[in-house]
Amino acid sequence: MRKWIFVLLVLSACRKSGTNSSSSEATHVTDDTNQSSFYLLNEGNMGLNQTTLDYFNGRKGDYNLNIYGEINPTIVKELGDVGNDLKIYGNKLYAVINGSDRVEVMDKHTAKHLGEISVRSCRYISFYNGKVYVSSFAAASGSTDGAGFIAEADTSTFEVLRTLTVGRQPEEMAVVGSKMYVANSGGYTSSNYDRTLSVIDLNTFTLIKTIDVAVNLHHVKADRYGNLYVSSRGDYYNIPSKLFIVSSTTDAVTDSLNLGVSNLAIRGDSAYIISVQWSNNTGTNTISYGIVNVKTKSIVSNGFIQNQALTTPYGIAVDPVTRDILITDVKDYLLPGTLYCFDKTGTKKWSVSTGNIPSVITFIE
């Protein structure tokens, strides 16, 4: 028996100590020191609490993986589950963590935890006049059809001040002047997707208009001419993904462009578009790239990167200084992803391994 106890003790020793820690590592990826620094949010798979934050130091050309845990070791369960959006406003960095029902607020320069804004099923974030706006998939109180809401919160107390009911399962928002445009998806009821863009007057925080666009809206981005680029995911069956242009002057759809959009970034007069379009009919993804000139509202290119080896392009951002194009590849969603940096001609400059499902990049301008 004593022998057995010894064996058990030996087996017990195989377990590492209960206290493990996150460790970040830096990789030197480029000697070009002109690139802008940025943060990248890795979504992580649902239920795994795998959201991580990476940091690219533009002056050194170093890429730092998974910095949050080391900087904020006392935060229980780190960043959380399924990061969905990341933006900088003032001196603060905001990460919207969908599966954790909160917006993590960090210091823009140090990524130190400052506080959190509690919003159920939060999706995207936007800012106006010292206030934070967060879209939510959760049913607004009093709604009978599951309509979601926009929460308005204070940037210093992190308290939610007011909420406003919009369409069903609202996704991204864009602000033009004092108006906010919210893309409603209706994704919880795929037999009856929402088709609308909600227009909010931010001065009064009231809904002033609902614009019918197309099924299952997702992204909405404003260009510098007062137009909004709104993407529809389609229904994955017979209605394809498509890009719509809405004028903020008339609050009406003015144009539509026949190209699929899963993500886009507007810089200057160019909207850089990536599309991974799933079809339930064929059981396959169709991948495409394109550039739209927002001044002429026309497709100017059907591909802007060369020799692309990307499996599943997912996030896109354009460096404000160098105009380098950053695209994330989530591969099969299970493996760690890869971040690719292409110069403005589409030639690959560098790539680096990221966390799981790299999705949103925000530059520290």
Partner 1 sequence: MLCLNLEAQQKDTTHTLQTITIFSAKPGAITPVQTLSGKALEKMNSLSVADAARFFSGVQIKDYGGVGGLKTLNVHSMGTNQLGVFYDGIQLSNAQNGTVDLGRFSLDNIEQIDLYNAQKGVIFQPAKGFASAASIYLQSKKPVFHDAATLHGKAGFKTGSFGLINPSLRIEKKLSSCISAVVSSEWTHADGQYKFRYRYNDYDTTAVRKNGDIDAWRVEAAVYGNGRDSSNWHVQGYYYNADRGLPGPIVKGHFENGQRQWDRNAFIQGGYNKSFGKYNMQLNAKYMLDYVRYLDTSIVTTTGPLINRFRQHEYYLSSANQYRIKDWWDVALSADFQVNQMTAVNLDHFSIPTRITTLVAGATQLHFQKLDLQGSLLASIINESTKLYTSGGNRRAYTPAVIASWQPLANPALRIRAFYKEIFRMPTFNDLYYTTTGNPTLKPEYSKQYDAGASYTRTSAGWWQYFAIQADAYYSRVTDKIVAVPGKLFRWQMQNIGLVNIYGIDAGVQTSPRFFKEIGTNFSLKYTYQRATDNNDQQIVYVPLHSGSFTTNLSWKAWDLNYNFVYVGSRYYGSVNIPEYYIEPWYTHDLSLSWHISQLKINGEINNIFNQYYDVIYNYPMPGRYYRITASVNF
| Interacting residues with partner 1 (CB under 8 A) | 4, 7-8, 11-12, 14-16, 18-22, 43, 45-50, 66, 69-70, 72-82, 97-102, 120-121, 138-139, 143, 145-146, 168, 186-192, 236-237, 278, 280-281, 283, 330, 332-336, 355-356
Residue number with CB closer to partner 1 (311 or 322): 311
Classify burial at 356, counting beta carbons within 10 Å of its beta carbon; exposed 0-12, middle 13-18, buried 19 or more: buried
Shortest Å distance, C-beta 232 to partner 1: 15
Residue number with CB closer to partner 1 (168 or 221): 168
Shortest Å distance, C-beta 271 to partner 1: 21
Rounded CA separation 351/336 (Å): 13
Shortest Å distance, C-beta 296 to partner 1: 31
Distances from the Cα of 52 to the Cαs of 75, 262, 275, 355, in angstroms?
13, 22, 24, 7
* Residue whose token pair is 């106890």: 5
Shortest Å distance, C-beta 333 to partner 1: 5
Over the Cα atoms of the chain, what is R_g?
A: 21
SS3 label, residue 8: helix
Residue 323: other Cβ atoms inside 10 A: 14
141 and 92 in contact (C-beta within 8 Å)? no
Phi, psi (rounded to 5 degrees) for 79: -75, -30
Shortest Å distance, C-beta 231 to partner 1: 13
DSSP per position, 205-222: TEEEEEEE--SSEEEEEE
Shortest Å distance, C-beta 314 to partner 1: 8
Shortest Å distance, C-beta 277 to partner 1: 11
Q: Which residues of 60-98 are buried (b: 16+ CB within 10 A; e: fewer)?
A: ebbbbbbbbbebbeeeeebbbbbbbbbbbbeebbbbbbb
What's the longest Cα–Cα distance across the chain? 85
H or E element: which one contains 68? helix 68-71
Rounded CA separation 1/349 (Å): 64
CA 156 to the chain's CA centroid: 23
292 and 269 in contact (C-beta within 8 Å)? no
101 and 118 in contact (C-beta within 8 Å)? yes
Shortest Å distance, C-beta 68 to partner 1: 10
Residue number with CB closer to partner 1 (73 or 303): 73
Shortest Å distance, C-beta 73 to partner 1: 4
